[in-house]
């Protein structure tokens, strides 16, 4: 991925393919390369030009450990689209990336042709707030959970029970989570602090670009009803709820997610 000065920071991004531009925005703590597993190949096969990038907070993009606000992340994405030719672009985000895409559609509609919000949400519920505060307290106290237990908790919170029925597949997921979890970097910690925000649903009533909100039926971190609320708040927005998907639905059932995204982008 090339590094470029975007919105005053060093931002790491990658562009593949040709055709209409699709910008993919990843969620909290994850690099843009996660999209390369399933979504980038599907979009390339469909004839799109695809951009992935590491949000501020994720090295080698500047970590901005002194603090991150959502407005900066929205401005990063807007500046990246301008850097790549000015748009309008198709924009797809998941979780925190969905929030960035939602705010971008609201504040910079001239840059957005259509927007897709995976695990969309315009507010947080009580469970989300409790989980976020618990993570911050563990971090403040320097508590590191045993890797096997942390992997199990990650699986419970992010995967559908359907993904855990096959015991070999379940063990593969647990191994991935156990080996991939590293110490929380200052940049990721700054991203996690973005979890504390108010109710944005009334503001989303001013979004004018075509939007699709996708809820994952078994999502414990961002329950599907929150995604449905986003679609209801945006005039003319569509809503799709995918079964047998947890928060990582784009990894669990990539074909279903890709089908929903591509159908919307193509206007089908």
Q: Is the dihedral angle over the CA atoms 101, 102, 108, 110 positive or is it negative?
A: positive
Active site annotation includes 219: yes
Residue 194 backbone phi and psi in degrees, to 5 = -75, -5
Q: Of residues 62, 76, 218, 219, which has the active-site annotation? A: 219
Given a contact cutoff of 8 angstroms between Cβ atoms, the answer to whether 105 and 211 are in contact is yes
Active site annotation includes 247: yes
Cβ contacts of 139 within 8 Å, gap of 6 or more = 184, 189
- Residue 193: which of 147, 137, 126, 125 has the closest Cα? 137
Active site annotation includes 121: no
**DSSP conformation class of 2:** -
Q: Of residues 95, 132, 160, 163, which has the active-site annotation? A: 95
Scored b (16 or more CB within 10 A) or e, 133-168 reads eeebeeeeeeeeeeeeeebbebbeebbbebbbeeee
Helix locations, 84-125, DSSP H:
96-107
Active site residues: 95, 219, 247
């Amino acid at each position: 991925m090339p590094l470029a000065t975007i919105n005053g920071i060093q931002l790491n991004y990658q562009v593949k393919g040709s055709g209409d531009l699709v910008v993919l925005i990843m969620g909290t703590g994850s690099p843009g390369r996660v999209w390369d597993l399933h979504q980038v190949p599907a979009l390339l096969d469909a004839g799109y030009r695809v951009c992935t990038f590491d949000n501020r907070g994720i090295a080698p993009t500047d970590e901005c450990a002194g603090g991150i606000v959502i407005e900066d992340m929205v401005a990063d994405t807007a500046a990246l689209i301008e850097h790549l030719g000015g748009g309008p672009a198709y924009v797809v985000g998941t979780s925190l990336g969905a929030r960035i895409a939602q705010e971008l559609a609201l504040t910079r509609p001239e840059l957005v042709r259509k927007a897709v919000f995976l695990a969309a949400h315009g507010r947080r519920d009580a469970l989300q707030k409790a989980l976020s505060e618990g993570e911050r307290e563990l971090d403040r106290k320097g508590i590191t959970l045993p890797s096997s237990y942390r992997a199990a908790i990650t699986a419970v919170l992010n995967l559908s029970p359907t993904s855990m029925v096959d015991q070999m597949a379940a063990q593969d997921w647990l191994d991935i989570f156990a080996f991939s979890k590293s110490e929380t970097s200052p940049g990721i910690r700054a991203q996690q602090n973005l979890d504390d925000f108010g109710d944005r649903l009334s503001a989303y009533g001013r979004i004018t670009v075509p939007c699709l909100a996708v809820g994952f039926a078994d999502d414990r971190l961002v329950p599907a009803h929150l995604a449905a609320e986003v679609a209801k708040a945006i005039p003319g927005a569509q809503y799709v709820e995918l079964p047998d998907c947890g928060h990582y639905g784009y990894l669990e059932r990539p074909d279903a997610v890709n089908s929903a995204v591509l159908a919307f982008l193509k206007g089908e």
